[in-house]
Amino acid sequence: MALLASIIFSLSFLSLLKRSEAYVLSALCLLGLLVGMVRVAVAPVAAPDAFLPLFDTKVVLTGRIEGDPDIRETTQRVTLAVEHEGERMRMLVVAPLYPELLHGQVLEVRGTLERPEPFATDGGRTFRYDSFLAKDGVFGIIGFAKIRLLDDKLSLRRYLYETKHLFVHGLSNALPEPYASLAVGIITGGKQGLGKELLEAFTIAGLLPIVVLSGYNVMVIAEAMLRAFSFLRKRVAIVLAGFTILLFVLAAGAGASAARAGIMAGLGLFARASGRTYDALRALVFVLVIMLLWNPLLLVHDPGFQFSFVATLGLIIGSPIIEPHLVRIRNAFLRDIIATTIAAQLFVLPLLLYQTGNLSLVALPANVLALPVVPLAMLFSAIAGFVGILMPVFATIAGLPALLLLWYLVEVAELSAALPFASLTIPLFPFWIVILLYLLLAFGMRALKEKAPAISVADAPSI
């Protein structure tokens, strides 16, 4: 680091003498590298020393719940911030479904404190579950914990989570399962209530981004709102679409993943609405730097962060290049959906294959069939949820339009997943192949851009 700092100082000094942009740019790049190295060096990657003797022993610890509990079929999981001998650590607590746990509550927890362990996945891969949790400062797990509520503290975040829970309850009044859980997923994020078989169908069909609150999903909704307000001035329409993104982030509890989805969708919306690709790219890089300075471990240990970034990159760069080649499709909304779907799928694919090995051969047609109805499914599901809260007696009737659209999404997922050779599992391969695939993708995008058809939408035959 000292050598790097010396080089930066030398380049800065030379830039003052010779007024060269090359020196300035080199100094800034190296400065960013140095800041990143310092930030990674100070990021916690292991449990504090005071907690080390407690692992693999029976413990009694007290801490406060952070974030929204993760409700599963038979358990609930909470992140607990605990202190011991003056040091602080987060741990994951697996508790029974009852009593209901809430953000801000102080718990006494009894159980065996264990270290998270990596586990094997498809294609000879290993998911570093320990590193995945460590990025959020979680270094321990207590399974089958016995809990006792000691104190409670209300906060703005708590009110947001409780609003989300109330809305989820309204959806359960209006819709049967698994459609209520699907509605919860497409509006607020989360896939726990779908069940193993249906979740696998969405995964095979490449439709999982619909179920979770991703930047890609929110982007589709925001763009639909942009078109709905197209009769207004462009700036007003963009503001209203951005406000829609904010509402979805708040409805999802304003957690880290929801905020990331909102930021990524906002950048994609800005690029699509304004046509200022390079400005959007600069904004994306700026957001990336800020998020990595906040938590540098996201880059390596958070697949959701990685997928959101490359998907947004695809929306910003790929969609404007692909869309002119779809000029035969006269419907503007459908053309946008297909262009964004292809772009997002292409940009995510190399990383997805490296991380999971799941190659869905039906993802593109399944997304083209499903995504046009997602905005309507979200709209009518939201209406059903509000009616389920305010007038439960009429909830079932109000939920019928949403039920029809959600049924269609489930059918697309199940029928696509049931096709022969719907997906393949690719064996583990080295990371340099990912780099090579992205280089080939870059050359392919460049070739498409140079060969964009000159024909206009008005002159093209309709499809």
Q: How far is CA 81 from CA 51, 268, 298, in A?
A: 13, 35, 20
Q: What is the reported pLDDT for 461?
A: 43
Pairing of strands 119-120, 138-142: unpaired
Q: What is the largest CA-CA distance in the chain?
A: 77
Residue 26 — pLDDT band, cuts 50, 70, 90?
low
pLDDT exceeds cutoff 50 at 301: yes
Domain boundaries, the chain: 49-156, 168-450
CATH numeric code, 49-156:
2.40.50.140
Residue 411 predicted with pLDDT over 90: yes
Q: What is the mean pLDDT of the chain?
A: 79
Residue 459 pLDDT > 50, yes or no? no
Question: How many C-beta neighbours within 10 Å does residue 108 have?
Answer: 15
> Would the pLDDT of 12 be above 60?
no
**pLDDT per residue over 109-165, tens digit each?**
999 999 998 888 877 788 888 888 888 889 999 988 888 888 887 777 777 788 888
Contacts for 374 with CB less than 8 Å, ≥ 6 apart: 186, 210, 217, 220, 221, 409
pLDDT level of residue 463 (50, 70, 90 thresholds): very low
Bridge partners of 90, per DSSP, are: 81, 138
Range with lowest mean pLDDT among 225-229, 247-251, 253-257, 423-427: 253-257
User: Range with the lowest mean pLDDT among 90-94, 225-229, 386-390?
Assistant: 225-229
Query: For the whole model, what pTM was predicted?
Result: 0.76
| Tokens, residue 356 | 């999971």
pLDDT: is 279 or 106 the higher one? 106
Q: Report pLDDT for 42.
A: 63
Beta bridge partners of 127: 119
Give the per-residue pLDDT at 462. 44
- What's the average model confidence in pLDDT over 424-434? 87
At residue 176, does pLDDT exceed 60? yes
Does the pLDDT at position 21 exceed 60? no
Query: Can you give the three-state secondary structure of the chain, one letter per residue?
Result: CHHHHHHHHHHHHHHHHHCCHHHHHHHHHHHHHHHHHHHHHHCCCCCCHHHHHHCCEEEEEEEEEEEEEEECCCEEEEEEEEEECCEEEEEEEEEECCCCCCCCCEEEEEEEEECCCCEECHHHCEECHHHHHHCCCEEEEECCCEEEEEECCCCHHHHHHHHHHHHHHHHHHHCCCCHHHHHHHHHHCCCHHHCHHHHHHHHHCCCHHHHCCCHHHHHHHHHHHHHHCCCCCHHHHHHHHHHHHHHHHHHCCCCHHHHHHHHHHHHHHHHHHHCCHHHHHHHHHHHHHHHHHHCCCHHHHCHHHHHHHHHHHHHHHHHHHHHHHHCCCCCHHHHHHHHHHHHHHHHHHHHHHHHCCEEECCHHHHHHHHHHHHHHHHHHHHHHHHHHHHCHHHHHHHCHHHHHHHHHHHHHHHHHHHCCCCEEECCCCCHHHHHHHHHHHHHHHHHHHHCCCCCCCCCCCCC
State yes or no: pLDDT of 407 exceeds 90.
yes
**Cβ count within 10 A of residue 279:** 14
